[in-house]
Chains A and B, each alone.
Chain A
Amino acid sequence: MTDTTVAPPAPAPAEAPPGNQALAKAALLLLRGRTLVVLVVLVAFFSAISPEYLTQSNLILMTKHVAINAILAIGVTFVILTGGIDLSVGSIAGLASMVSGGLLFTGLALPGGTVFFSVAVVILIGIVVGALVGAVNGLLVTRFKVAPFIATLGMLYVARGVAQLRSDGGTFPDLAGTPERGNQGFHVIGVDSLLGIPVAVWIMAAVAAAAIVVTTRTPFGRRVYAVGGNERAAVLSGIRVNRVKIAVYVISGACAALAGLLLTSELGAAYPDTATTYELNAIAAAVLGGTALAGGRGTIIGTVMGAFVIGFLSDGLVLVGVSTFWQSVVKGAVIVFAVITEQAQQRLQSGLAKRTA
């Protein structure tokens, strides 16, 4: 019984009884399948209405739009798996955008003069800033025992405010860089393509692959699930819970910063309101993908699928020319509907688990 509560459904640990393992796998398939079914229905629906929906170029474009939310959502999923929540990811994306945009546009003013960094360094700094903000979230949650909702809600405001302070509210309009500053090429990550696929999509694939490996194949991944499944049990089994928690907020912050940079690169401009309210889209993607807000249950693949559902839905509505207001109504309804089906499946799952136990 302890096995089923502490261990994640995926991957079913080898020591679980074979019956339970099979059930967990079947339930997992159902959970995954649900998001996939919704996605297939969406694609079929929009393809029937608009011949442009199911074209190669539109699929690539929609995937590119998905990439930003998916990367945010993957980071948030780590946090939610531990039973926490990260409301600050949109603001962290905005902050990273402003920090990097500022470094490209105005440089770093030092006493000896203004310094410009190469694009790679600028991107790295942006991600490190995101990770550091995440670390602060983690410390607030662990060391200062602030509830994750409150700690990251506070950070939502603080990070956004700092982003606005960076430019006094203004926009950094041109991030193309100049040869003499040696900082050209920021557009590569957000605008360019590699083998016909946007670089942003490759980055999303890489982040997703890494996250899948980490959650399913590493001791750290198992600890993340353990902390979220039953924190007391995790403590008693010798897991350094605080370390795990800080690590997930760092991951979330870094992912958020990366998403912010992709968005900024694509836009070619950094403005302090970048990615406002994107945290809600990210959390919605995770929940749609079957991640339980209580922690301990969920998968990266599910989250990515959730992001695809949200993105393909929003783009589909724009493509067929539905008004903004209806877009909002439909999106909200789909999210709530997804959670209702998730709850139903949870009941089914626990019913099955009880019968076999």
Chain B
Amino acid sequence: MRKLSGILLPIGMAAVLAVAACGSDSGSGTGDAASPSAGAGGSKLMVIITPSPDNVFFKAEQDAAAAQAKKLGYETLVLSHDDDPTKQSQEIDTAISRKAAAIILDNAGADSSVAAIQRAKDAGIPTFLIDREINKTGVAVAQIVSNNAQGAGLGGQEFAKLMGGKGEYAELTGKATDTNAGVRSQGYHGVLDQYPDLKMVAQQSANWDQAEALTKTQTILQAHPNIKGIIAGNDTMALGAYAAVQAAGKKIIVVGFDGSPDVVSSILKDGIKATVLQPASQISEMAVDQADAYIKSGKASQPEKQSVDCVLVNPDNAKSVTDFAVAGS
């Protein structure tokens, strides 16, 4: 008896699995056979994965994507990977097991995200990247990013203008594993290095973090008391740097990148001098719209690599900026 059940049980389970597999096969077979989203089986779930909403930029990104998806009739699952590729990989697995219709992803690493996105693709789930690119094409359906190089060029020009083309400055860079950290830094230097009298006396990574930017700026100011300006790779670091500048009672030009509401209000109060606005909400909405079109038609409506231009925010236009968008631009 025991022996028999020992044989029958695995057979039975295999049979159940086979039926289940057939079921899902035939289910998708009724749809468009060529549709890459067939595996999703008519799911109405859109999974949105971003870095920690701790940074208002990602919060805006999440909110805009979720709102747009709901508007188009999707359920949403909003997750945060906290810039940890392992956590991101697990979240993509969640999306696969929940048979999501599409994934909207602001990824955790240009290289370390590729495998997970490929896994989703193999499972028939299209991924739409926002804000950050990955180092491979043909894996995600779309990579919609703000033009960081162009934006950093704008920021660099404004910074050079504010500095009057000369003097010592420091740079706070983002997390080194994030492509944007490098792209922005290169963008800044593409402009700043053309001024022979602009001298970078310190360059430190503050890992996109406000508190780290604060302490590192304080220490940098100790080493280089004549610093006239600080250019930061994002707004949270600019805020941290500005807190240090204020605490030191100095007049130092601080320029950020992102266009976050906190920095915009600081600009209006003559604190931080300028930032570069990334159209975060617009990018999220574009990604959701394209995901929707893809789910319905089975093909991409736009080329994979898309970039949206950034806008410089300074005291002249800061008033018209709300939630990562400049009115009338």
Contacts and interface: CB of A to CB of B under 8 A. Distances in A.
B61 to A, nearest CB: 12
B203 A319 contact: no
A262 to B, nearest CB: 11
- Interface size bracket, A side: 20 to 34
Given A171-B56, A191-B247, A266-B243, A318 B220 contact: yes
Nearest to A55: B222
B240 A170 contact: no
Given A168-B53, A169-B54, A169-B59, A324 B207 contact: yes
B36 to A, nearest CB: 33
B54 A267 contact: no
Interface in A239-274: 263, 266-269, 271-274
B210 A324 contact: no
A267 B214 contact: yes
Contacts of B214: 266-267
A271 B216 contact: no
Nearest to A273: B54
Interface string A162-174: 0010001111011
Nearest to A321: B202
A266 B247 contact: yes
B54 A171 contact: yes
B54 A52 contact: no
Given A191-B247, A269-B262, A169 B223 contact: no
Interface in A306-350: 315, 318-321, 323-325
Interface residues of B, number: 34
Contacts of A170: 53-54, 56, 59
A58 B222 contact: yes
A318 B203 CA distance: 9
Nearest to A275: B211
A267 B205 contact: no
B219 A263 contact: no
B54 A318 contact: no
25 contacts: A52-B222, A52-B223, A58-B222, A169-B54, A170-B54, A171-B55, A173-B261, A191-B246, A191-B247, A266-B214, A266-B247, A267-B214, A273-B209, A274-B211, A275-B211, A315-B215, A318-B204, A319-B219, A319-B222, A320-B223, A321-B202, A321-B204, A323-B205, A324-B204, A324-B207
Interface of B: 52-56, 59, 80, 176, 202-205, 207, 209-211, 214-216, 218-220, 222-225, 239-240, 243, 246-247, 261-262, 265
